Structure 1
Amino acid sequence: MIQAITLLVIAALVAIDQVIKIAVVNRFAAGGSMDILFGLIRIRYVENTGAAFSSMQNQTVFLTIFTAVVIVMFIFLLMTKKIKPGFIYWCVAVVIAGGAGNFVDRVARGFVVDYIEPTFVNFAVFNFADCCVTVGAALLIIKTVYDLIRENKKYLSDDDKKAENGGDEKNV
């Protein structure tokens, strides 16, 4: 059951991404733009033939194959429950959705449609799928660091108990 729900969530996020991209493509010519949110964000249609932050330009074939392999690998891990349902599981699902949204663009258009441009900082133009990948990956990193710190505190706490008992583990 969890696998079916996971696939529905991934499909919903990809659908949201694609609907927004279709709206941007239909509303703007390449390079066309419109300021929103008091000018803090600009919707600007950009055709990105590279990866995140406009890196790896004109590497569409490589990026398409790489993305497909990563998506298949992650879906396999989720569907076989190699990653147990929980926080990390859903973070990976969000990363898959973002990768899949941009994968659809590369296959269908030969480029990724980017459209979110923050005007208050010099930053790359990106899209909803990029946000999914970034948020999912950032939460995975934060969770991993949190778990490492928590495990380290537990380990240090066990060492403190041993030291208090003169290093005799039987007294712990």
Structure 2
Amino acid sequence: MGTSFIVVICIFILDQTVKWWVVTHIPLHQAQPLVPGLVEWFHIQNTGAGWGLFAGQMLLFQLVTLAMVLYIGRLIYLNRYRTGTLHLTLGLLLGGTLGNFADRLRLGYVVDMFHLQFFDFPVFNIADAALTVGVIGLILLVLTNKEMDGFI
């Protein structure tokens, strides 16, 4: 259980720190190179999900996010005596969820900043990346049945 919360805290702090830096250093809708030809900083305010889906549906996002925070927190608690990758995965999921939830509550939108230049993909942030890696990790755990006996 400790591993999950360490991951949650690290993801949340890193996510919010990078978002603060972007807001204070990169004008809205402006790009700056990060790794030329691969990824650039691109400051946007996202009121929806990826690719602008459900834009402006803040109450929906807040309710779904609150439900996910409670559910993932419950999973961490119920599996508190387990060790290994499950706690890392759940920590990534909860940290990413809380990072974007903080933006939605505080700002009414999510700050996104990473734009892949080689692939048509939505601009994203660290919380989004943590969520993506967490979902992939959870899928792999379920598919390989590794650490999943008795998982609730």
* TM bucket normalised to smaller: 0.7 to 0.9
2:106 is the counterpart of 1:108: yes
Alignment of 1:119 with 2:117, yes or no, is yes
1:145 matched residue in structure 2: 143
For residues 143 and 53 of structure 1, the distance between their equivalents in structure 2, rounded to whole angstroms, comes to 28
1:15 and 2:21 are equivalent in the alignment = no
* Greater Rg by CA: 1
What is the match of residue 126 of structure 2? 128
Name the SS of the counterpart of 1:47 in structure 2. Answer: strand
- Aligned identity (percent) is 26
Deviation at 1:72, TM superposition (A): 1.4
Q: Which runs of 5+ in 1 are unaligned?
A: 149-172
CA deviation string 1:88-124 (max 9, x = no partner): 2321111110011000000010000010000111111
Aligned partner letter, 1:123: F
In 2, the alpha carbon distance for the partners of 1:83 and 1:141 equals 21
Shift in Å at residue 83 of structure 1? Answer: 8.0
The unaligned stretches of length 5 or more in structure 2 are 147-152
The residue type equivalent to 1:19 in the other structure is T
Paired residue for 2:60, among 50, 59, 62?
Answer: 62
Q: Is the 8 A contact 1:52 1:130 kept in 2?
A: no
Which residue of structure 2 lines up, in the alignment, with residue 88 of structure 1? 86
- 1:76 is aligned, of 74, 77, 96, to 74
Per-residue CA deviations over 1:43-93 (Å, capped at 9, x if unaligned) read 000100012342211111110121011111211221232783322232111
SS of corresponding position for 2:113: strand
* Secondary structure class of the residue paired with 1:57: coil
Equivalent AA in structure 2 for residue 141 of structure 1: I
- 1:8, distance to aligned residue in structure 2 (A): 3.0
Q: Which residue pairs with 2:150 in the alignment?
A: none
* Secondary structure, aligned partner of 2:27: coil
- Secondary structure of the structure 1 residue equivalent to 2:145: helix
Q: CA RMSD in A?
A: 1.8
More helix by percentage: 1
Instruction: Give the partner amino acid of 2:138.
Output: L
TM norm structure 1: 0.78
Distance 1:88 1:6, change over 3 A: closer
SS of alignment partner, residue 104 of structure 2: helix
User: How many Å separate the matches in 2 of 1:83 and 1:21?
Assistant: 34
